[in-house]
Amino acid sequence: MLLRFDLLGPLSVSRDGHPVDLGSVKQRLLLALLLTRPGEAVPADELVNLLWGDQPPASAGANIRTYVRGLRQAIDCDGRIVTTAGGYLLRVEPDDRDLDRFDAAVARGRTAATSGDPVRAEAELAQALALWRGPVLAGLPLPRALSRWVGQVAERRLLAEEDHAGTRLALGAAAQVIPRLRALLERHPLRQRAWAHLMTGLYHSGDVAGATAAFRQARQVLAEETGMDPGPELTRLYDDILHHRCPPPGPPPPARAAPAAVRTRPAQLPITTPDFVGRREQLARLDAVVGHPGGGPTSVVVTVVCGMAGVGKPNTEN
């Protein structure tokens, strides 16, 4: 018998692919509490406190036994819910919970990303995120202790969303990532890593103005909500975008093969031309000046050749 316990959304259980009726709200909540601590004995008095708070009914203990009996009948647990000394334990096999499958896929994706394989990383992270059907344990009236646990799991989802956005950017899919990042930041505007991915995606999509505007929006939100400035990484990214130093996302390009032969770059000046080329008319004028000095043997003839450097000095003055 294959049991699946799904917590990433409304609580649901399937047996061999068929949904199971979990009964009343309190009965479903009891199962959720046991699922958050699989393989761990939860004392009955703790379950009573979680289900009813500081003022449980006199029948609380009996009610819990009724809920456990109802769950055993509904799930046909085959000994999955074990009665321990003073409490109950839910045996969960590997991959029974969607949460465990999510964590495993995220771990594989992060390993692939670290190993420089963004294609596999993106696939694993997309598979992990596809397991989510909504907020954790949506629709159940959660006690405070369970709400904290739900918040921790929700944080894991957000981190996976940011990891997935990073792999999509590495694969050059900025246009597809930007809408998802905007939607994420509408719900969680204080996530600086998501702002960094959005800025990077906008920059590499050619929208430099949009990238700088995103930084200003992040800075304003952080100031209003926390009274703090953006962190050093986000500030450094903004500076890199302003100065067009933002490197392309993704792994470095593959190394090119070395050339078969190494050519030596010439460093010599070109040989001197044996004579001046062109400017016959000007040269004739110079020859005439030098060949017919105006004074005696001691006279000196000064001739000035004027012109911008590199033009061949077309003008001559005596």
Q: Tens of pLDDT along the chain (318 residues)?
A: 788 999 999 999 998 889 999 999 999 999 999 999 999 999 999 999 999 988 889 999 999 999 999 999 988 766 889 998 889 999 998 899 999 999 999 999 999 999 999 999 999 999 999 999 999 999 999 988 889 999 999 999 999 999 999 999 999 999 999 999 999 999 999 999 999 999 999 999 999 999 999 999 999 999 999 999 999 999 999 999 999 887 666 543 334 443 433 333 444 555 555 555 566 777 777 777 666 555 555 556 677 777 665 556 554 444
pLDDT of the residue at 273? 52
Q: Where in the chain is the domain with CATH 1.25.40.10?
A: 173-250
pLDDT of the residue at 284? 72
pLDDT of the residue at 57? 92
Q: Where in the chain is the domain with CATH 1.10.10.10?
A: 1-171
Residue in the block written with tokens 């702002």: 195
Tokens matching residue 159: 């981190």
Q: What is the CATH number of domain 1-171?
A: 1.10.10.10
Residue in the block written with tokens 């953006």: 230
pLDDT of the residue at 252? 39
pLDDT of the residue at 248? 64
pLDDT of the residue at 67? 94
User: 169 near 200, Cβ under 8 Å?
Assistant: yes
pLDDT of the residue at 277? 57
pLDDT of the residue at 291? 63
| Phi, psi dihedrals of residue 192, rounded to the nearest 5° | -70, -30
The number of helix segments (H) and strand segments (E) in the chain equals 11, 8
First-to-final CA distance of the chain = 112
Return the CATH architecture of domain 173-250: Alpha Horseshoe (1.25)
Q: Can you list the alpha helix ranges (DSSP code H) found in 171-292?
A: 174-187, 192-204, 208-226, 232-242, 280-291
Q: Give the pTM.
A: 0.74
Residue 78: count of CB within 10 angstroms of its CB: 10
Residue 151: count of CB within 10 angstroms of its CB: 11
